[in-house]
Amino acid sequence: MNDPAEQITGIALRCEPGGRVLDVVYDTVGTDLRPGHSLTEALTTESVRSALSLLADASRDRVGHASYLGILPTDGTREDLRFIGCAAQGGDEVVLVGASSRRELAPLVEAIAPDLPDVVDQLDWLSQVVRREAEDEAVLSAFSETNNELAGMHRELARTNARLEALNRRKDEILGMVAHDLRNPLGTILGFSEVLVRHLDDTLDDRSKLMLTRIQHQSHRMLTLVEDLLDATAIATGQVTLDLAETDIHELLVETVDTYRYTASRKQITLELQCDGSPSIAWADSHRLMQVFDNLLSNAIKFSPDRTGATVTIRCRAIGADHLVVTVADEGIGIPDEVIAKLFQPFATTTTGTRNEHGTGLGLTITRSIVEAHGGHIDVRSEVDRGTSFEVVLPIRPPGSPTDSGMSG
């Protein structure tokens, strides 16, 4: 404390338990307290009670620390100091130390230690306690401020999310309206092109036939895309409902396989349907499940090698009395792990078929949604250049189906 510029604003006194000053050990506040004066002469009115309580605590418990006390310097200003106190060994004397901040109590006690050898340990312990309190309070204050900032960010994020959700719903609504308006004219174009192909086949030259066939194929592709968009929009807006009825899953698979035999034969792919003979009746929406099986089988053909004698196997089996499992497995090009991770996301198509066939990127998203709407789930296993297997697990009675259906078979 040799350099006045480094002095800590504070005060240190030896007092009787009643507050009469015995000695002024340190005073940079300028109180003009002298031995024989009362401590209360240098205190603001509202601080007197706290000061007397501090003296009583120190006399009784030998240690005590209080809140800030207002000190009145002789120049008429005011200093708010944090005080600690302790009783001397005999108990007839109390030492009080106050500093302008709680963190400065420890260095002040260290500075005046040579003048207070009998109580410096107690004062040091008190100053460290108060200093830790200050640090804890600072941490708590910083935590509280950070928490308030996070709460504000959370509220803003919630508002932003609400706006985004509203925009997303509006986007789905617009997409649905556009797709709905496109479906009828595309269906008309496709119907007329099929009629022309059927009735004018013998009267057209090769170039005209090719152009008409391309119109037919592109119309069919666009109509499929529009139907997928309508389904995806209905799923996104929660408007998909299931028309549940007793459905023979085996019959649906037979129909699906028959539908795709010609497409498979053009690539010299064999379709093999295997059922274990167990009952295959379930409460399901036959139209929606046909979408599932159509998508899985068409994908299996699309990604199977051309003219290699590959086989696509469709299996149907029961698991206990509660579930049916349908597996569609191919011997195709397989799916890399990084693609599988996003396989069921909308518009996540990253692979073309072995004949450069392209999909809408919505088929598997719709497929999973339909399966999950039935209370089931779909899994995929694949190995690059070895093939892919999709497994659909369906409950015989999905959520919302009758419980006393009388199903048999």
Q: What is the CA radius of gyration of the chain?
A: 43
In sequence order, what are the residues at sequence separation of 6 or more whose Cβ sits closer than 8 angstroms to the Cβ of residue 331? 304, 305, 310, 311, 312, 386, 387
In a domain, 132, yes or no: no
The answer on 383 and 278 residing in a single domain is: yes
Mean pLDDT of 139-161: 79
Q: In this predicted structure, what is the pLDDT of residue 348?
A: 61
Tens of pLDDT along 352-363? Answer: 554 455 555 678
Residue in 176, 292, 184, 315 with CA at minimum distance from that of residue 232: 176
Q: What is the pLDDT of residues 89-131, one digit of tens each?
A: 777 888 898 888 888 888 888 888 888 887 888 888 887 877 7
pLDDT band (50, 70, 90) for residue 221: confident
Element (H, E) at 394: strand 387-395
Most confident range, picked from 74-78, 140-144, 166-170, 405-409: 74-78
Interstrand relation of 79-87 and 245-248 (parallel, antiparallel or unpaired): unpaired
- Are 41 and 15 in a shared domain? yes
Looking at the structure, do residues 271 and 386 belong to the same domain, yes or no? yes
Q: Are residues 349 and 326 in the same domain?
A: yes
Q: What is the DSSP letter of 329?
A: E
Same domain, residue pair 367 and 293? yes
Is 290 found in the same domain as 203? no
Domain co-membership, 58 together with 8: yes
267 and 371, same domain (yes or no): yes
Q: What is the CATH number of the domain that holds 168?
A: 1.10.287
Domain with 351 in it: 245-395
CA atoms within 13 A of residue 401's CA, in its CB half-sphere = 24
Q: Check if the beta carbon of residue 28 is closer than 8 Å to that of residue 9.
A: yes
Last residue of a domain, one of 236, 259, 288: 236
Instruction: Evaluate whether residue 319 is within a structural domain.
Output: yes
Is 381 within the bounds of a domain?
A: yes
Count: domains in the chain: 3
Residues 190, 72, single domain; the answer is no
Query: Which of 118, 149, 178 is the last residue in one of the domains?
Result: 118
- Exposed / middle / buried, residue 344 (Cβ in 10 Å: 0-12, 13-18, 19+): middle
**Structure-token pair, residue 204:** 């057209």
What's the mean per-residue pLDDT of the chain?
82
Q: What share of the chain is helix, strand, coil (3-state, %, to 5)?
A: 50, 20, 30
Q: Is residue 138 part of a domain?
A: no
